[in-house]
Amino acid sequence: MSETRYEIPMGLEISGMTGEVEGCLVISGHVRDAKIRANSVVITENGSLTRSEVRVGAFVLQGKMSDTKTFANTFVAAAGSFCQDATIGMQGDVGVAIDEKARLEGDVVFNVTNVSLGDVSPAAPVVEAPVRAAPSAQEKPSSSPSPTKKAEPEEEAIKVGGEG
């Protein structure tokens, strides 16, 4: 049995959406200021997501995403996708695929934790994932040359893009 698909079509603009989808939400239009929970979310090459929070099992970015918090078990940024000023919270360090032709700009932070993010399906209760902001540009950089900085024994943040 295939997963039910719900689509926000190209040309449709939605602001302030809050909702849960038992299935796949495909965004081909423009969504901003949203809180979304779904089994999976796909932002198509014509779609965009701005100033939103998304909790999903799988997140696929083919279009544009900015100023958004995403909590996902898997995250894919396809060729031609654009991600700016985003935080991606993930359980474990597997399940991330970023095409070399994807554009990551500004502060894009991946928070990887060994603590369970909980069930992300729409019927599950919300479980807050531990999220730690990346150091600001004004803070002195760590003496470590590595882009990975340990926050705690079970959590680390990986910053991609931005100045530094």
pLDDT confidence of residue 111:
87
| Alpha-carbon distance values, 153 to 71, 122, 147, 160 (Å) | 20, 30, 17, 21
Residue 95: closest CA among 59, 55, 45: 59
State the pTM of this model.
Answer: 0.71
pLDDT confidence of residue 93:
62
* pLDDT lower than 50: segments of the chain: 121-155, 163-164
pLDDT confidence of residue 117:
55
Residues in the chain: 164
pLDDT confidence of residue 135:
40
Q: Count of domains in the chain?
A: 1
Cα–Cα dist 15/30, whole Å: 8
pLDDT confidence of residue 128:
36
Which residues constitute the domain of residue 96? 5-160
pLDDT confidence of residue 3:
81
pLDDT confidence of residue 123:
43
